[in-house]
């Protein structure tokens, strides 16, 4: 019996331009389930731009994106997240004066409207902590956390 791996993400012939600068030119990228990969290149090579396209921050000018074999259009990070694509940013995107829980709620369904469903959010946070083996105090203010703990919060987000 053959074990054929199926891709979880495919980016085909991706092109992204900013005015007269081409940041990505005909980029092909495939990621298979269980794989760990690294994008390497000099500053300005287009790595971040490519990931920003995959996360829905930017739209590609040309090319196609497939997630689990389905062609998709990612118009926003919410689109990407709904399809199981997450992004850990190079620089922290946390609000230091807020708690861990508040930072995680921002941008989720628990954070819609002017009221927060903290009970639901805590349940989701505990599930994420269990799933990924990352423990952090939900009530801790982010400014009090060590760098490693802040990274955990970014991952849980």
Helix H or strand E segment including 105: helix 100-105
CA dist., res. 147 & res. 126, Å (int): 21
Residue 27 β-bridge partners: 14
DSSP 36-84: -------TTSSHHHHHHHHTTSS--SEEEEEETTEEE---SHHHHHHTT
Percent of the chain, pLDDT > 70? 91
What is the CATH code for 7-82? 3.40.50.300
Write the CB contacts of 5 (distance below 8 Å, at least 6 apart in sequence).
Answer: 32, 33
Tell me, rounded to whole angstroms, the distance of Cα 65 from its chain centroid.
Answer: 15
pTM metric for this prediction: 0.73
* pLDDT beyond 90 at 145: yes
Question: Domain locations in the chain?
Answer: 7-82, 100-156
Query: Per-residue pLDDT tens for 96-128?
Result: 999 999 988 875 655 455 566 778 888 888 988
Give the E-state strand segments of 78-153 in sequence order.
none
Mean pLDDT of the chain: 88
Question: What is the per-residue pLDDT for 83?
Answer: 93
pLDDT band at 52 (very low <50, low <70, confident <90, very high): very high
């Amino acid at each position: 019996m053959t074990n054929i791996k199926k891709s979880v993400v495919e980016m085909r012939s991706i092109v992204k331009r900013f005015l007269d600068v081409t940041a990505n030119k005909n980029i092909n990228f495939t990621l298979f389930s269980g794989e760990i990969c690294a994008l390497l290149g000099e500053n300005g090579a287009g790595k971040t731009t490519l990931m920003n396209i995959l996360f829905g921050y930017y739209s590609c000018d040309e090319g196609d994106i497939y997630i689990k074999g389905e062609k998709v259009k990612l118009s926003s990070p919410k689109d990407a997240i709904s399809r199981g694509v997450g992004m850990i940013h190079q620089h922290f995107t946390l609000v230091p004066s807020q708690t861990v829980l508040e930072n995680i709620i921002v941008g989720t369904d628990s954070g819609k409207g002017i009221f927060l469903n903290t009970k639901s959010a805590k349940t989701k946070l505990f599930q994420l902590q269990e799933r990924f083996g990352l423990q952090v105090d939900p009530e801790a203010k982010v400014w009090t956390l060590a760098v490693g703990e802040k990274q955990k919060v970014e991952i849980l987000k």
